[in-house]
Structure 1
Amino acid sequence: MIELDAEDNKLLILARGAMGRTGGSGGAAVRDLDGRTYAAGEVGLAALRLTALQAAVAAAVSSGAEGFECAVVVAGKFSDPGVAAVREVSPSARIIFTDAKGAVFEMLEGPVEGDPATRPGIPEGFDLETESEVFE
């Protein structure tokens, strides 16, 4: 099991809180280069759809963030377009993926080549077709 340091664990708590507040299926939080944090849930309006990570990145960038140290994605997908947004702003930012309960199953450090779904450490019960944890 991967243990997070205190700062990354704070992002996890913020992301899970955003997920709970919005009632969505995922949450995300980012920390900018100045240590400021931004958390968001999914946006599912008819006129606007954003993943939680896209919403967190948008909040940070619109607040003047010039780069990211780290992002945490709770119950998200490797194919989340927010990953590309994080990489566009900060190619070396760490991106941590957790299940809905907060257990870390992947930590991406820097640009990723190839299909992340083929990387070791994918948790048991993780559905590679839908990229979500299967709960029984």
Structure 2
Amino acid sequence: MTELDAEDDKLLILARGALGRTGGGAGAAIRDTDGRTYAAGEVGLASLKLTALQSAVAAAISSGAEGFEAAVVVAGRFSDPGVAAVREVSATARIVFTDAKGAVFEVVEGPIEGDPAQRPGFLHSTPPEGFDLETESEVFE
């Protein structure tokens, strides 16, 4: 398991909290270049659907964030469209993916060049070997 530094661990705690509060399928938190953090869950309205990462990016941008250092996605998917939103603002921001319990299974750093589907270790169509989606995607309580 990859260990997170103190700042990214804070994002993990915030993302798990958002997941627990909203009761959705995923939670996310993001840190801007000023050190401010934003956490969010999924939005599932009939008129608006956002992933947790998209929601966190929207909260940050609407609060005046101009860049991102890092994001943590709990119980999300590699194909989350929020990754593109993070990259649009900060091409080098680190994005950490964890299971619902907080175990890190992927850290994506640096810009995504070319076809992301061809990048090793990124945008998997299936979870990593040994990752039990049914068990690991339970809501944090």
- Match of 1:56, SS state, is helix
Q: Partners of 1:123 and 1:73 in 2: how far apart?
A: 19
Q: How far is 1:117 from its partner?
A: 4.6
Q: Which deviations, in whole Å up to 9, do the C-alpha atoms of 1:40-96 show, x marking residues without a partner? A: 000000010000000000000000000000000000011100000000000000000
Q: Partners of 2:129 and 2:21 in 1: how far apart?
A: 26
Q: TM-score, normalised by structure 1?
A: 0.89
Q: How far is 1:111 from its partner?
A: 1.9
Structure 1 residues 17 and 85 mapped into 2: Cα distance closer, same or farther (>3 Å)?
A: same
Matched ranges for 1:9-20 at <5 A: 9-20=9-20
Q: Percent identity?
A: 73
Q: Which residue in 1 is equivalent to 2:131?
A: 125
Q: Which residue in 2 is equivalent to 1:129?
A: none
Query: Does the Cα contact within 8 Å between 1:75 and 1:99 map onto a contact in 2?
Result: yes
Q: Which residue in 2 is equivalent to 1:86?
A: 86
Q: How far is 1:3 from its partner?
A: 0.3
Q: Partners of 1:91 and 1:12 in 2: how far apart?
A: 21
Q: Which residue in 2 is equivalent to 1:45?
A: 45
Q: Partners of 1:134 and 1:20 in 2: how far apart?
A: 17
Q: Partners of 1:51 and 1:85 in 2: how far apart?
A: 11
Structure of greater relative contact order (alpha carbons < 8 Å, 6+ residues apart): 2
Q: TM-score, normalised by structure 2?
A: 0.85
Q: Partners of 2:40 and 2:64 in 1: how far apart?
A: 16
Matched ranges for 1:1-136 at <5 A: 1-112=1-112, 113=116, 114-115=118-119, 116-117=122-123, 122-126=128-132, 133-135=133-135
Query: Does the Cα contact within 8 Å between 1:105 and 1:123 map onto a contact in 2?
Result: no
Which runs of no fewer than 5 residues in structure 1 stay unpaired?
127-132
Query: Which structure's residues are more often strand, by fraction?
Result: 1
Which runs of no fewer than 5 residues in structure 2 stay unpaired?
137-141
Query: Does the Cα contact within 8 Å between 2:54 and 2:85 map onto a contact in 1?
Result: yes
